[in-house]
Chain A
Amino acid sequence: MYNLIADILKYGLVLVVYMFIYSVIKLIYLDITDTRRMENSLVGAIAYLKTITIGKNLKYKLFDSYGIRENSVVGSSKKCDVYIKDPYMSKENTSIFLKDGAFYIQDLNSTNGTYVNDKKLTAAPKRLKDGDKIKMGELNFVFVDPYEMA
């Protein structure tokens, strides 16, 4: 009887060890105190966009993380709170804002659109969760909300 239980639970043990490693690597990856190349916008930010586009030959400067405040506009115009010189991004591409303690994302009628978890946004704002994948222009980001406790 015992041998059977041990035989079944061994798969559980291996799985748990690998899940542990995965969760730690994810924590290390999202740890923003670690990022060397950071933008000034991170000071006082309450959430972050973590860049995950890698291996592309970009002709403009791209930071590891961008800070998000209560109301931030992402776009290729210098007036934007998060300013990225991506040629595929509209001047005012996307807005990310805080409402009733939760973050929402809204596409600002951009040419190439905004995608959350590979789904194109409509004109209506969409609730953002910690770890959501966001695509704007030709770039991919992960949304990191350090205060989300759920």
Chain B
Amino acid sequence: MGRLKMRPVLYLLLLNLIGFLLLFMYKEPKDINILYAGLAVLAINIGVYALMRLLNMGDVYLFLMVSILVSIGIIMLIRLDTGFGYNQVFWFGAGVVVFLVSYLAFRLFKYWDKLLLLYIIVSFALFAITLIFGVSRGGSRNWIAIGGKTVQPSEFIKISYVFALACFFSAKKKKSGPMAGELLGIPKKFIAANIFVYMCLGFLLLQKEWGTAVVFFLTFYAMMFLYDAPKRLMLINALMLVVGLIGGYFLTDHIYSRVATWMDPWADATGKGYQITQSLFAITSGGYFGTGIGNGQPHFIPEVHSDFIFSAICEEMGVFTGIAIIMIYFIYSYRGFKIGLKAKSEFLKALTFGLVLSFAFQTFIIVGGVIKLIPLTGITMPFVSYGGSSMVSCCIMTGILTAVSYLERKR
């Protein structure tokens, strides 16, 4: 199987070769840095893959999925704006370092399930920092500036949030203590988790980050389902969701306009519906195989480098590439769930499921929003969108999942 193992690397090499050579020919004036960027991306991907194979570090398929997503993303970003592209190469380099560090940390340190209080404190501290020092960008107050760079803390809160949820759900039934027993027929650990989740959601809504709030809630709801929460509690939460959405629709302009443009973007195609109609035009004009890199006009879409990169990819690389990207996300989630099913401790299972669920819901919400399947909410597309916070937090997640897959292989 030696030949087979190298085959994905061969295709990755071909993809980068075609992509970066085209970019080099496309950009005027000629910029040799594009070729260096391509070499750097390729070297990082192949280097880490070889390292993982040689040292038998665990599941390699997750990283393969990451490397093709990042390659497609960077090719598209350099085509859109060289500066964004180079930054993204830098962030990918940083992300890989973080990936290896979080992998080692998770593999060597064994007491992650004992730190519930730390996760809660970290989550709330990050929320508080965002509220106090936050700067507004694109309607949401969810960025903080550190030394000229902006960071999006909610990407990192997502990880501490899932860690905390995993602690709550995997807690064993206790005979005594504050978490023992039931309240109104509902085990107290579920009640504690509910309180924590609604506090987080409250913070997110204060920052007007509806997209992330939906991801948080859906992850929590799916995990309650997995951990067999009482039906009454599930029902109450479903009611809360409906109340929250209806309340948001009538009380805030934010949600109201999003839903209105989703129902009929053509009513105000030059104003509020401009972004989504341009996105639809871009996807349609590409057709099955796209216009070819550099032949389309993706710049008509506002925010094309972050939230709407999927439309740009569909326009220039074709709907087939778009479908392929969705398939790649599927394979990533499938591998994640498979790792979760085989994980040894209850905490690792809960953690893996939580991380993969949040990843899958986030992808669904942004891809669905861009193609007008569901109302649009601005969140990043994991590994493809421009952005350091998103890239680094997704790399942390992949590192943890890979470490879990390593721990379960040891017998």
* Residue interface mask B295-335, A partner, CB < 8 A = 1: 10000000000000000000011101100100110010001
Contact of A6 among B2, B15, B72, B292 (CB under 8 A): B292
Q: Say yes or no: is A2 at the interface (Cβ < 8 Å to chain B).
A: yes
Q: Say yes or no: is B289 at the interface (Cβ < 8 Å to chain A).
A: yes
- List, in ascending order, chain A residues with CB within 8 A of B295's CB: 3, 6-7
How many residues from A make CB contacts under 8 Å with B?
36
Q: Say yes or no: is A54 at the interface (Cβ < 8 Å to chain B).
A: no
Give the contact stretch, choosing among A24-32, A70-78, A84-92, A97-105.
A24-32
The answer for the CA separation of A6 and B65 in the assembled complex, in Å, is: 25
- List, in ascending order, chain B residues with CB within 8 A of A60's CB: none
- Give the contacts of B1-33 with A (CB-CB under 8 A): 1-5, 7-8, 11-12, 14-15, 18-19, 22, 25-26
- List, in ascending order, chain A residues with CB within 8 A of B8's CB: 20, 23-24, 27
Kindly provide the distance from the CB of A3 to the nearest chain B CB, expressed in whole angstroms.
6
Kindly provide the distance from the CB of B324 to the nearest chain A CB, expressed in whole angstroms.
5
- Give the contacts of A1-43 with B (CB-CB under 8 A): 2-3, 5-14, 16-21, 23-28, 30, 33-34
- List, in ascending order, chain B residues with CB within 8 A of A5's CB: 22, 25
B1 engages A30 (CB within 8 Å): yes
- Give the contacts of A116-130 with B (CB-CB under 8 A): 130
Q: Say yes or no: is A58 at the interface (Cβ < 8 Å to chain B).
A: no
* Residue interface mask A130-150, B partner, CB < 8 A = 1: 110000000000001111111
Q: Say yes or no: is B211 at the interface (Cβ < 8 Å to chain A).
A: no
A10 engages B317 (CB within 8 Å): yes
- List, in ascending order, chain A residues with CB within 8 A of B331's CB: 21, 24-25, 28
* Residue interface mask B66-109, A partner, CB < 8 A = 1: 00100010000000000000000000000000000000000000
CB nearest neighbor in B for A11: B289
A130 engages B3 (CB within 8 Å): yes
A-B pairs with beta carbons under 8 A, tally: 110
- List, in ascending order, chain B residues with CB within 8 A of A9's CB: 18, 22, 292-293
- List, in ascending order, chain B residues with CB within 8 A of A149's CB: 2-3
Kindly provide the distance from the CB of B352 to the nearest chain A CB, expressed in whole angstroms.
16
CB nearest neighbor in B for A131: B4
Interface SS of chain B: helix
Given A10-B290, A13-B15, A14-B324: A33 touches B409 (CB 8 Å cut-off): yes
- List, in ascending order, chain A residues with CB within 8 A of B327's CB: 21
Q: Say yes or no: is B64 at the interface (Cβ < 8 Å to chain A).
A: yes
B289 engages A10 (CB within 8 Å): yes
Q: Say yes or no: is B262 at the interface (Cβ < 8 Å to chain A).
A: no
Given A19-B11, A21-B327: A6 touches B26 (CB 8 Å cut-off): yes
Contact of A20 among B5, B12, B293 (CB under 8 A): B12
* Residue interface mask A34-72, B partner, CB < 8 A = 1: 100000000000000000000000000000000000000
Given A13-B15, A150-B3: A3 touches B292 (CB 8 Å cut-off): yes
The answer for the CA separation of A112 and B67 in the assembled complex, in Å, is: 47
Measuring CB to CB, which residues of chain A are less than 8 angstroms from any residue of chain B? 2-3, 5-14, 16-21, 23-28, 30, 33-34, 130-131, 144-150
Measuring CB to CB, which residues of chain B are less than 8 angstroms from any residue of chain A? 1-5, 7-8, 11-12, 14-15, 18-19, 22, 25-26, 61, 64-65, 68, 72, 289-295, 316-318, 320-321, 324, 327-328, 331, 335, 338, 409
A-B residue pairs in contact (CB < 8 Å), sample of 12? A7-B291, A10-B290, A14-B317, A14-B324, A17-B15, A18-B320, A20-B11, A23-B7, A34-B338, A130-B3, A146-B2, A150-B3
